[in-house]
Structure formats: structure tokens, C-alpha cells
Amino acid sequence: MITFLISLAALVLGYLVYGRFVERIFVPDDRVTPAVAQADGLDYVAMPYWKVFMIQFLNIAGTGPIFGAIMGAKFGPAAYLWIIFGCIFAGAVHDYFVGMLSMRNGGCDLPELVRHYLGGAASKVLLVFAVFLLIMLGTVFVYSPAEILHGISGSTTMWITIIFIYYVVATMLPIDKIIGKIYPLFSFSLLFMAVALMAVLFVKWPALPELWDGVGNMGKAADPASFTDNIFPCLFITIACGAISGFHATQSPLMARCLTSERKGRPIFYGAMITEGLVALVWATVSMWFFYDAPQPGYAQIGGTMANGLHTSAPVVVNLVCKDWLGIVGGVLAMLGVVAAPITSGDTAFRSARLIIAQALKLSQRAKKNRLYICVPLFAASFAMLVWQMENPDGFNTIWQYFGWANQTLSVFALWTITVYLVRERKPYVITLVPALFMTCVCTTFFMVSKTALGLPYTVGYGVGATALVVAAVWFVVWMKKSNCKG
């Protein structure tokens, strides 16, 4: 628990100190924002700051900082370090600059930012990549809530139909009609859940592995047969939301179109990411205790629970912990967490996809028919992916693992885009160069070793990942010299 307290303090200080440092690098001013200059009553809609924060938090969070932290807790105290350093120095910086650059460029989406700073070829690749990722996310967040609701009443097909209808309506309507009204409520529920669980942790004060006990892979040490993932690169893919997530780069522009002042960027973009990190810390700590349930030090029980399939499914952990610790209120919060939060992530994923495609096609979205031109094939692709997922026994896990890699690869594009911007503006580019190089290495290595990708031995994967790191660094130095933009 001492590590948990230190981690909480580190995140708060990160916002107060490093967040202000990052803000001073960007230098927000009083210029008119897209929410005012391009107001259209649909996507560019000025909203109160508190509401923008709550929507931004739920947009980037959903169940990400819960499920990812639960699965990442099996790696042991190393999860704390990734959440702290990833959130403060990578994720929050990533979200802040994407949001602020979107505001400075008329509320444009990530592919347009990439075109502006990395070139047309990279933008076209990212366009296809981002839309495919958003369709994957929306699809996996149809089936899992439908299955849970099916356990209460009705059929899975019925709930899939209802969720899809909601997605279509939420994607088509102005952002303040549904998203602006219900998101703050769900956002408050997620925050309340985290605060309540934190209070229980303080009361129970469990004995947990601390950083000074070692940051080795405790899950593998306890059960090498069942838990085969290495900390590098798997931890950095497993815990995305709560540290750094490329999906956030598709969400920050949504709120960049609703802010009426650049000076609110730090609490909205940087602050929402730090808040998400706090939620991830709570769930990582709760889960660590869950997997650490043994009378002697170590992860003695993790092998049995993993082998029996118990306590390893993130939704199961959420349900058990909330109901046991928080009673009836916890049951309601758990239901919101495993049902409502995924659905809200899915609808903003499809909304982002619509806007990204519309921007690429230069198709105004004011006319409903233009929105339908994009939404119909978008949802048709999602439905086809959903059918494949349901027909394959391990379809959900397969899509989710591909999403995990694609999600972090998207963050690589965003980080390199921001780095080029900082170089061109002669600002301290190292703040994103280091995370960009690190995530380039992580994503390359994971693609090499993941069983859903190439499945190569770790020694080979590490070698290729290190090579990608060197190549990226050399490319950057050569580009700087050619462009005469020494920062």
C-alpha cells in the first residue's frame, strides 16, 4: 500500500508540475476556438468546461483503465511504474498536444494532423489504420455488453440490435443531445466507483507487494505454465488506458471542437488523462490484492486461479469486487462499468470514424444524408466483423489482441507527429521524442512475439525491436539535418 500512496502522490504532482511545464511549451492563448468560429450545432458545439472534462474523461476511459489495470496487475509492482511514468510523461502529453493541435488547426482529426506534419503518405496509411481500429473497438464493445445483458433477460441478438440502433442514433445526432447529456452521469459513476474502492483499500490496508520487493514478473514466477507473457513488451500493451493509448488521439479532437478557451486545455486533456491514471492505479491495486490472496508472500494463489479460469476475466473481477465491497451500490456501479462504459466507448469510436472519413472526403456533415453516406458502410463493416467474431470461438480475444497492438501503434503516429511539430516550432522536442522511440520499440517487439501476429521467439523479437529503435532514431537525426530544424 505504500507504493500505492507514492504512486497517487506522483500522479498529482505530475499534473501540477510537469503538466504546467508542458502547457508552457505549447503556450495557449486567447484566440477564437473552433467551437466558436466553426459552430455548426452538430460536432462543433460549445459546452461548459466541467461537462467537456467529464465527456473527455469517459471518452478516453470507458472500461480501459479498469480492464487493462486488472490484467496488468498480474505482472506485479512493475504495473505501478508504467502507470506513473507512462501517464505523466507519455499519455497525458500525447492527449494534451493532440487536443491542442486539433484546436489550432480548425478542430481537425489525427489523420489531418499527420498529413500536415508527417506528409500525405503517412496520413493515408493512418487514415485506413485509424478507421479500422475504431471499427474494431466499436465491434468488440457491442458483443460483450450484449452477452452480459443476455444473462439478465432477452437474447444476445436482441441486445446487439438495440446497441447497434443506439450507436447509429448517437453517431448521427448532435454531440450535445445524447453524449452531452448522459456521459457526465456515467463519468461520475466511474469516478465514484474508484473513490469508493480507494476508501475500502485505506480501511482494509492489505499487505501487497511493494516496488522494493522487486519488479520482476510475479505472474510468470508463480505460474510459468499459464502466464507466459514477458513484462516487455506485454505490460505496455496490456495497460494502455491509464498510461498511454492511441485511441485517445481519436477522441481529443471531439472535445477540441467543444472548448471555448485554449487555456482550459491542461485540465481538460492533460487532467483527464491523469484522472484516468488514478482510476487505473486503484484497480491495479485492488487486483493485485485479488491475485495476491495468499497467507505467505508472493503470488502463491495465482496459478490455481488462472488454471481454473477464476478471477482472470476483467468483467468477473469488476462484478465480484464491487458487489463484495460496495454492496447494492457496487452492483449497480459494476453493471455501469461492464455494460454502459463499453457502449459509450463504442459510440464515440464510431462518431470519430465518421468525422475522420468525412474530413478525408471533404464531405460536410450538416446534411443528414451525408452522415448516412458514411455511417451505412461503417456499420455494415462492423456488423460483418461482429458476425465473424460470433462464429469463431476465440473471436473476441483475437480482435481484442489486434486492437491492443493497433491502439498503441496509433500512439506512435501521434507521438511522432507531435515531435515533428515541436521541432518545427523550435521547442523542446525531447518530451515526445523519448516516448515516441520507446513506443516504436514496444509495438515492433510485440508484433514480432505476439501469438496473434508473427509469434517469433522473444530473443528475435527483442532484436528486431532494438533495430526499429535505432532506425527510428537515425531517421529522426537525418530528417532534422535535412530540414535544418535543429531544436
Q: Which domains does the chain have, with CATH numbers?
A: 2-392 (1.10.4160)
Q: Hey, what amino acid is at 103?
A: M
Model pLDDT for residues 227-248, shown as the tens digit of each residue:
778 899 999 998 998 999 999 9
Q: Place 310 in a pLDDT band, splitting at 50, 70 and 90.
A: very low
More confident of the two residues 31 and 311: 31
Q: Do residues 92 and 270 lie in contact, with contact meaning Cβ atoms separated by under 8 Å?
A: yes
Asked if 487 and 428 touch (Cβ cutoff 8 Å), the reply is yes
pLDDT in tens, 73-105: 888 899 999 999 999 999 999 999 999 999 999
Per-residue pLDDT band at 338 (split at 50, 70, 90): confident
Distance CA 110, CA 255 (A): 13
Looking at residue 224, its pLDDT comes to 67
Could you give the CA distance from residue 300 to residue 42 in angstroms, rounded to a whole number? 54
All cell numbers assigned to 198: 480507494
Least confident window among 189-203, 253-267, 313-327: 313-327
pLDDT given for residue 486 in this prediction: 47
**Count of beta carbons in the 10 Å neighbourhood of residue 308:** 9
pLDDT of residue 68: 87
pLDDT for res 144 = 73
pTM of the model: 0.92
CA–CA dist 317, 308 (Å, integer): 14
- pLDDT at residue 306 is higher than 80: no
> With bands split at pLDDT 50, 70 and 90, how would you rate the model's confidence at 140?
confident
Dist. CA 106–CA 94, nearest whole Å: 19
Q: What 3-state DSSP class applies to 409?
A: helix
> C-alpha distances in angstroms, 141 versus 146, 157, 232?
9, 14, 27
Q: What is the pLDDT of residue 296?
A: 36
**Residue 292: which pLDDT band, with cuts at 50, 70 and 90?**
low
Answer yes or no: is pLDDT of 456 > 90. yes
